[in-house]
Chain A
Amino acid sequence: EIVLTQSPGTLSLSPGERATLSCRASQSVSSYLAWYQQKPGQAPRLLIYETSNRATGIPARFSGSGSGTDFTLTISSLEPEDSAVYFCQQRNTWPLTFGGGTRVEIK
């Protein structure tokens, strides 16, 4: 199975700063990578699919890039409401897999 490794484990930044989250796959997932945001007590929410496509209603400050084995989620200018855990997920190969998550804290 494809293992997705997310880094860093925790990111602590101030409002307005840029956040860069990494997701590395143990083998190529082509462009079939998604990102989700999960806030405490809530279900995950799809942010980005197929590497770089924003889901409906997702603000433009969220963007995704990468291909093959290395992917990045960028939040261009952090808002207080972006405090959450972010997960990547691949759909290139069965079984589907999630990364372990990156916690983003807003100072």
Chain B
Amino acid sequence: EVQVVQSGAEVKKPRESLKISCKASGYSFTNYWIGWVRQMPGKGLEWMGIIYPGDFDTRYSPSFQGRVTISADNSITTAYLQWSSLKASDTAMYYCARGGGRTEGGHFDFWGQGTLVTVSS
């Protein structure tokens, strides 16, 4: 059974760093993209970026390039999303989701439960 389980909610202060995780299981981790999606309170879905663990190819939305870093650790089938300096505007729910195979990119069939990040002084 495919499962995608995210780390728990975080409360941070502006300018702090943060790394949230996405643990995948039940399939060959290195053969599917894993993407990250932001949802600000009461708003729609925003695609942030995606990584292919097989060769660590990583793509970012221009809106998030340079603001976040996506990585993966194949030894523990986990993907990560990290910030070096949070802002209040980063307050949102963050979802990870499994994409398609190497040439299929990202339609997301299995989603994590979401990680709520709150940034407040």
Q: Is the CB of B106 within 8 A of A91?
A: yes
Q: Is the CB of B111 within 8 A of A98?
A: no
Residue from A38, A45, A95 within 8 A of B62 (CB atoms): A95
For the complex formed, measure the closest distance between the CB of A7 and the CB atoms of chain B, giving whole angstroms: 14
Q: Is the CB of A46 within 8 A of B108?
A: yes
Interface residues on A, range: 20 to 34
Q: Is the CB of A44 within 8 A of B47?
A: no
C-alpha spacing A8/B8, complex, angstroms:
35
Is the C-beta of B54 less than 8 angstroms from some C-beta in chain A? no
Interface-centre pick from A34, A91, A98 (highest chain B CB count, 10 A): A91
By secondary structure, the B interface counts as: loop
What mask results when residues 100 to 114 of chain B are scored 1 for a CB within 8 Å of chain A, else 0?
100011111101111
Q: Is the CB of A46 within 8 A of B45?
A: no
Residues of B near A56 (CB, < 8 A) are 109
Tell me the nearest residue of chain B to A38, going by C-beta. B45
Interface residues on B, range: 20 to 34
Tell me the nearest residue of chain A to B111, going by C-beta. A43
Tell me the nearest residue of chain B to A48, going by C-beta. B107
C-alpha spacing A38/B45, complex, angstroms:
10
Can you list the 10 inter-chain pairs with the closest CB atoms, starting with the nearest?
Answer: A43-B111, A34-B107, A91-B105, A95-B61, A49-B107, A98-B45, A96-B47, A101-B44, A46-B109, A91-B106
The residues of B with any CB-CB pair to A shorter than 8 Å are 35, 37, 44-47, 50, 59-62, 95, 97, 99-100, 104-109, 111-114
The residues of A with any CB-CB pair to B shorter than 8 Å are 1, 32, 34, 36, 38, 43-46, 49-50, 55-56, 85, 87, 89, 91, 94-101
29 cross-chain CB contacts under 8 A: A1-B62, A34-B108, A38-B45, A43-B95, A43-B97, A43-B111, A43-B114, A44-B95, A44-B108, A44-B111, A45-B111, A46-B108, A85-B44, A87-B44, A89-B107, A89-B108, A91-B99, A91-B100, A91-B107, A95-B61, A95-B62, A96-B47, A96-B50, A96-B61, A96-B105, A98-B44, A98-B45, A98-B46, A101-B44
